[in-house]
């Protein structure tokens, strides 16, 4: 089984996006498997999350990690590919295909992190389709996008936590 991931790295237009990097205390969290609405209210779990800037193959992107407290060493997991600057944050898309035309799986994931004052809203929506699909390519996943059935979503809201320089460096 082969898997190909294509991430859209499109140039953003307009003003520079705000700096969304940093630690956020979770104020609300909603998630569902199998639908794009009406999910479970997870409250303040995880208690914190962090938006980090990383690099892959020379390209910068932002991603989210979940944190158990304000210490960076408590942060794990999360995810998301935020590459395109917007007026209020960053967004990104990921496309996946695996299998062949007789047994194909296509996935489209959209990510958005928008900042309003000190409040950041992080959204992830996932769409997928399986079966005989020809062609079984990431281009086909991109063409179908949210025309495929929604399989899950997550909306995480948090307020920025002001960190001391010693908290970030571990000193």
pLDDT in tens, 100-128: 999 999 999 999 999 999 999 999 999 99
* Mean pLDDT taken over the chain: 88
pLDDT at 10 over 60: no
Q: First and final CA of the chain: distance in angstroms?
A: 46
Residue 139 in domain: yes
Residue 137 in domain: yes
Residues 40, 101: Cα–Cα separation, whole Å: 35
Residue 158 is predicted with a pLDDT of: 98
For 142, how many CA atoms within 13 A lie in the half-sphere containing its CB?
A: 12
Residue 13 in domain: no
Which of these ranges, 1-10, 12-21, 99-108, 156-165, has the smallest mean pLDDT?
Answer: 1-10
Mean pLDDT of 138-151: 97
Q: Are 89 and 17 in contact (CB under 8 A)?
A: yes
Summarize pLDDT for 42-76 with one digit per residue, the tens: 988 999 999 999 998 898 999 999 999 999 999 99
Q: Enter the DSSP assignment of 19.
A: -
Token pair 């929506």 is found at 125
Q: State the pLDDT confidence band at 165, using cuts at 50, 70 and 90.
A: low
Residue 161 in domain: no
Q: Enter the DSSP assignment of 153.
A: E
pTM across the whole model: 0.85
Residue 72 in domain: yes
Question: Number of structural domains, the chain?
Answer: 1
Residue 84 CA, distance from chain mean position: 12
Residue 167 in domain: no
* Dihedral sign from CA coordinates of 93, 145, 142, 13: negative
Residue 168 is predicted with a pLDDT of: 52
Peptide bond into 135 cis (omega under 30): yes
Residue 171 in domain: no
Mean pLDDT of 135-146: 98
Q: Give the domain range for residue 91.
A: 3-8+20-150
Largest interatomic CA distance in the chain: 56
Residue 156 in domain: no
Residue 167 is predicted with a pLDDT of: 52
Residue 43 is predicted with a pLDDT of: 87
Residue 164 is predicted with a pLDDT of: 73
């Amino acid at each position: 089984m082969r898997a190909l991931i294509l991430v859209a790295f499109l140039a953003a237009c307009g003003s520079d996006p705000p700096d969304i990097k940093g630690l956020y205390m979770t104020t609300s969290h909603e998630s569902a498997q199998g639908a794009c609405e009406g999910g479970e209210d997870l409250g303040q779990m995880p208690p914190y999350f962090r938006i980090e800037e990383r690099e892959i193959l020379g390209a910068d992107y932002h991603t989210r990690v979940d944190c158990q407290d304000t210490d960076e060493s408590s942060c794990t997991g999360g995810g998301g590919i935020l590459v395109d600057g917007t007026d209020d944050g960053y967004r990104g898309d990921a496309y996946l295909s695996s299998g062949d035309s007789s047994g194909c799986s296509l996935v489209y994931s959209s990510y958005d992190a928008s900042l309003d004052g000190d409040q950041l809203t992080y959204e992830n929506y996932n769409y997928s389709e399986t079966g005989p699909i020809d062609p079984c390519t990431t281009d086909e996943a991109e063409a179908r996008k949210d025309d495929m059935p929604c399989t899950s979503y997550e909306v995480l809201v948090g307020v920025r936590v002001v960190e001391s320089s010693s908290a970030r460096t571990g000193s």
